[in-house]
Amino acid sequence: MGNTSSSAVQKCLESALGSKDLVAFKNAPFFQITDVKPYNLGIPVTPAAVTYPKTTEHISAIVKCAVDNNLKVQPRCGGHSYANYGIGGQDNTIVVDMKNFQQFSMDESTWQATIGGGTLLKDVTKRLHENGKRAMAHGTCPQVGIGGHATIGGLGPSSRLWGSALDHVEEVEVVLANSTVVRANEKENKDILFAVKGAAAGFGIVTEFKVRTQAEPDKTVLYSYNFHGGDTKSKADALKQWQKLISDPELSRKFASQFILTQPLGAIVTGTFFGSQQEFDSLNITARLPNSSKKDAIEIKDWLGVVGHWAEDIALELVGGVQSNFYAKSLAYTEKDILPDDAVDKLFEYIDKADKGGAVWFVIWDLEGGAINDVAPDATAYGHRNALFYHQAYAVNLLGKVNEKTRNFLTGINKAITDALPNHEQGAYAGYVDPALGENSASLYWGGNVERLQNIKAAIDPQDIFSNPQSIRPAKKSAKMV
């Protein structure tokens, strides 16, 4: 922005918010540290301003300022975007920080909860628990915000049982590019609800969610099987047996599981069973996994304790809510994409011998399926309804930027898998955003829903006000809402 335009934006935003205390501009002291707070230190972004609205009217006025000054807008909730898309992912965006939107209520006749768009997952869990011992599916990182999480997918341990976080969403209040505030549900503004449930960053700012909730499980088993040490072959054999277990079509939906391969600790199979120890034991899971150096399965009756334990996941302990230099890639697997034994062997040989570039790294294969896949692929913008599991390959450099060798290492993991699966229907999880996907990102993130999303975008945000480098763009020709 030039000086004139910068001054105009500043005046507009201060007037929109009615206070200089609710907005910070890029020329302010310590702006990057106190206001921008990038999650991925390897992707520098300097927004034009970071705003802290307290009301929906504030957000409407902020959006109007952006439109009048030809600037893009992005909302930020937890601020955990892998490419800093919550701060726009590009310079000179206006950031709408949602931290003041903490409203919560529970309708005890329907058990539908109303949750503010700025609520972090740790507070979602606590407030649902305190209002009728209710719960919903979501991920394991407590610092992630529901605003991004429940509008991208929101996969977590209970998703096989209850669906993704966005599958709980029944209604949203959204501020649109023309500054209007609308409600979207199955009866009104259905196209907006469709877009918000998977691709919201390109369509508006969700100020409030109404979600269905579930009764908390009264008994839950947390388990882990550690394969410390061992050679490459034994770790590969462990993944083969895990794949065989999780691809069993009769596998209980109460069973959630991850296979984690990590630099210092070897291989770990860990997860949650939503039932009693007796029921878990009856499934004979242990006998279906390779012998491990350490086995642990414990029944817990305290739901908050269970969710708290998820936050102690080995991967979260390495990165969690801490700003760092990192890079990640993901891949979706359908039930047809079980890796053949020889492909697993080649993958593990590659991982063993490849130059990692000095970074700390891990790969997580995460079981999905179940209730997530009960929903039709075109019912929401989230399109990976045939995914049985994902992997996320992740590398963090504690000493500086992630180098090319490390990036190539992670890219090579994906290539080793896709080369072994010639008919693989490629897909990536939009929550593990990967800037390297480039122009191909939309089809990888949203599958067959891209054209419909582009048409909706053209109808409600033709100027692409809500924008980041990989958000949905408007259809090139004017189109009616579908």
CATH number at residue 10: 3.30.43.10
For range 163-188, the mean pLDDT? 98
Q: Are residues 194 and 318 in the same domain?
A: no
pLDDT at 36: 96
Is there a single domain that holds both residue 225 and residue 339?
A: yes
57 part of a folded domain: yes
In this structure, the strands spanning 255-262 and 360-367 are antiparallel
Note the pLDDT of residue 311.
Answer: 75
442 Cβ neighbours under 8 A, 6+ residues apart? 450, 453, 470, 472, 473
* Mean pLDDT to the nearest integer, 134-153: 96
Q: What is the residue whose two structure tokens read 């991004």?
A: 148
| Residue 315 confidence (pLDDT) above 90 | no
Residue where a domain terminates, one of 50, 80, 97: 97
Residue at 42 is within a domain: yes
Task: Using a pLDDT cut of 70, give the percent of the chain over it.
Answer: 94
Q: 199, 446 in Cβ contact below 8 A? A: yes
Q: What is the pLDDT of residues 330-363, one digit of tens each?
A: 999 999 999 999 999 999 999 999 999 999 899 9
Task: Grade residue 111 by pLDDT with cuts at 50, 70 and 90.
Answer: very high
Average pLDDT score, the chain: 92
> Is 170 part of a structural domain of the chain?
yes
Judge whether residue 85 has pLDDT over 80: yes
Q: What are phi and psi of 220, to 5 degrees?
A: -145, 140
Pair 450, 348 in one domain = no
- The residue-averaged pLDDT of 88-116 equals 97
How far apart CA 143 and CA 146 sit, in angstroms, is 10
Which residue from 430, 346, 449 is spatially nearest to 392, judged by alpha carbons? 430
Looking at the fold, whether 208 and 158 belong to one and the same domain comes out as yes
- Portion of the chain with pLDDT greater than 90, in percent: 81
Residue 4 DSSP one-character state: H
User: Do 73 and 116 fall within a single domain?
Assistant: no
467 found inside a domain: no
Enclosing domain of residue 92:
3-97
Residue 218 has pLDDT above 80, yes or no: yes
Q: What's the whole-number mean pLDDT along residues 47-66? A: 98
- The pLDDT score that the predictor gives to residue 482 is 43
| The dihedral formed by the CA atoms of 428, 140, 146 and 23, expressed in degrees to the nearest 10 | -100
Q: Is position 196 within any domain?
A: yes
Banded model confidence at residue 37, pLDDT cuts 50, 70, 90:
very high
Per the domain annotation, does 317 fall within a domain?
yes
Cβ(248)–Cβ(296) below 8 Å? no
Assign residue 254 the CATH number of its domain. Answer: 3.40.462.20
Same domain, yes or no: 394 and 260: yes
Q: If residue 194 lies in a helix (H) or strand (E), which one and from where to where?
A: helix 190-199
Q: Which residue has the higher pLDDT, 208 or 319?
A: 208
Number of domains in the chain: 3
In a domain, 478, yes or no: no
In this model, does residue 192 exceed pLDDT 50? yes
Amino acid 321: pLDDT: 65
